[in-house]
Amino acid sequence: MTRQHGPARRARMAMAGTALGLLVLSACTGDEQRTAEESSDAWCDGMTIRYFAGGSPGDGFAPILANGAEQAGEDIGAQVEVVYSEWEPEQMLGDLRDAIAGDVDGIALTGHPGDDAIMPLAEDAEEEGILMTYQNVDVPEVREQLGGGFVGADLEEQGIALAEEALSTLELDSAARALVMGPFGDQARAVREEAAATTLEDAGLEVDRVTPPMEAFTDPNLLTPTVTGYLQENPDTELIVYPGTVLGSAPQYMDAAGMEAGEILNVGFDLTPATLEAIESGHVQLTADQQPYMQGYLPVLNLCQRQAYGMGPIEVDTGSGFVTEGNVDEVAEPVEQGIR
């Protein structure tokens, strides 16, 4: 099992388990109960859902979101249309406008553009009678005003937990230098990385924040000059915190900088086959998992239940703990299958 972090996590995961139980029960409850025959495997047949996977088919994260969404559609009969937006907020907004103008019944959106940008479009969707829910990045102001569920990790807590885990399990000097990379130009998107940076600073580390090029999330090679240039200027660096799936490219960054495995401690977020290999090779010491497959499957399932049975939106925290050299074998198979 991946390592959990704290009583609060256990409480939230218990609540998530309750929510999932209600999801199952909802298929046979409600004011307008369906018969066993009506509640067949294709009970959501006829509903079209536009699902936003966020990135691109070639990155290590978005395809897992898409796998979950498509599997949900296959399981319950919904037509799921996956949209990739290259992690670009403006492209997501354009794709959202297209979805609202299209013939869809529900939209599952990653919240990267933020509350202010999404709010007017979510209002348009509501006027059109289109159900909306959100995954991966929350939009609490939109949901407070217009409703909608959220499936994803508590990003601030995940950032704090990663930093605390690194401080407690890795051999770091009390005044070590750390590089934290993240989208710091966008406060809403940098919640996780800022929380990690602040936690490290509070522990006495000297932290530098660097925003990587957005294109690096689809082509990790583009991050190589950022990492090598920083290490050349800061040879006393002990720790690097990576945002998302670029963590899996830590071996190539270390090779380019002339560093051996373990010479720099590399930690970060998310699981991909490349990250697992980097853990096994000793280049990556720690990653926090947020189970993106659930962020694909559950929004589709809940949109269908809201339309078919009048059920309410759900909130599920998918953050599940940490993967290290000590437990990497336990998650290797589902990661290779694209479901973890």
Report, as an integer, the average pLDDT of 5-11. Answer: 40
179 and 241 share a domain? yes
Residue 174 confidence (pLDDT) above 90: no
Assigned domain for 239 exists: yes
* DSSP H/E element including 69: helix 62-76
| Number of domains within the chain | 2
Residues 168 and 105 in one domain: no
Structure tokens at 37: 């025959």
Q: What is the pLDDT of residues 121-134, one digit of tens each?
A: 999 999 999 999 99
| Whether residue 260 sits in one domain with residue 227 | yes
pLDDT the model gives residue 166: 97
**Inside any domain, residue 135:** yes
C-alpha distances (whole Å) from 274 to each of 215, 220, 334, 335 are 18, 11, 14, 10
Sign for the CA dihedral angle at 164, 174, 182, 259 comes to negative
Q: What is the mean pLDDT of residues 231-253?
A: 96
Structural domain includes residue 33 = no
Whether residue 36 is contained in a domain is answered as no
Q: Do residues 46 and 270 lie in contact, with contact meaning Cβ atoms separated by under 8 Å?
A: no
Q: What is the CA radius of gyration of the chain?
A: 20
Whether residue 310 sits in one domain with residue 285: no
Instruction: Say if CB 3 and CB 289 are below 8 A apart.
Output: no
Give tens-digit pLDDT for 293-318: 999 999 999 999 999 999 999 999 99
CA dihedral for 116, 121, 125, 131, sign (positive or negative)? negative
Same domain for 185 and 269: yes
- What is the identity of the amino acid at 36? A
The token pair that represents 179 in the structure block: 């590089």
Shared domain for 224 and 284, answered yes or no, is: yes
Window from 32-46, 164-178, 204-218 with minimum mean pLDDT:
32-46
Indicate the angle between helix axes 155-169 and 191-202, nearest 10 degrees: 40
Please name every residue paired with 107 in a beta bridge, in sequence order, or none if there are none.
50, 132
80 belongs to a structural domain: yes
- Answer yes or no: do 86 and 202 share one domain: no
Please enumerate in sequence order all residues whose Cβ is within 8 A of that of 177, keeping only pairs 6 or more positions apart, or say none: 205, 206, 207, 208, 234, 236, 237, 238, 239
Sign of the dihedral defined by the CA atoms of residues 21, 27, 28, 33, in that order: positive
DSSP letter, residue 131:
E
Q: Output 236 or 58, whichever has higher pLDDT.
A: 236
**Residue 6: its pLDDT value, please?**
44
Which residues does 172 contact at the CB level (< 8 Å), separation at least 6? 166, 205, 238, 239, 265
Q: For residues 53 and 163, state if they share a domain.
A: no
Q: What percent of the chain has pLDDT over 90?
A: 77
DSSP output for 89-126 = HHHHHHHHHHHHHSS-SEEEEE-TT-HHHHHHHHHHHH
pTM of the model: 0.85
The verdict on 276 and 166 lying in the same domain is yes
Sorted by sequence, the CB contacts under 8 Å of residue 107 that are 6+ apart come out as 49, 50, 51, 52, 96, 99, 100, 125, 130, 131, 132, 133
Structure tokens at 184: 């710091």
- Of 161, 123, 159, 158, the C-alpha closest to 139 is 123
Give a yes or no: residue 332 inside a domain: no
Beta strand 286-289 with 321-323 is: antiparallel
In this structure, which amino acid lies at residue 55? G
Q: Indicate whether 285 and 304 sit together in one domain.
A: no
Give the pLDDT band (50/70/90) at residue 340.
confident
Of 250, 273, 289, the position where a domain reaches its end is 289
Residue 38: CB atoms within 10 Å: 9
Is 13 found in the same domain as 140? yes
pLDDT interval class at 26 (50, 70, 90): very low
Q: Residue-wise over 41-52: b if at least 16 C-beta within 10 A, else e?
A: eebbeebbbbbb
126 within 8 A of 158, measured Cβ to Cβ: no
Answer yes or no: do 285 and 177 share one domain. Answer: yes
Q: At what angle do helices 328-336 and 273-280 cross, to 10 degrees?
A: 150
In this prediction, residues 209-219 reach a mean pLDDT of 89
| Rounded average pLDDT over 244-259 | 96
Say if 337 falls within a structural domain.
no
Q: Are 136 and 65 in contact (CB under 8 A)?
A: yes
Give the CATH number of the domain where residue 85 resides.
Answer: 3.40.50.2300
The number of CA neighbours under 13 Å toward the Cβ of 259 is: 26
Q: Which domain covers residue 13, as residue numbers?
A: 9-20+44-153+291-320
> Is residue 252 situated within a structural domain?
yes
Q: Contact, 130 vs 106, CB < 8 A?
A: yes
Residue 2 has pLDDT above 80, yes or no: no
pLDDT digits (tens, 9 = 90+) for 97-120: 999 999 899 999 999 999 999 999
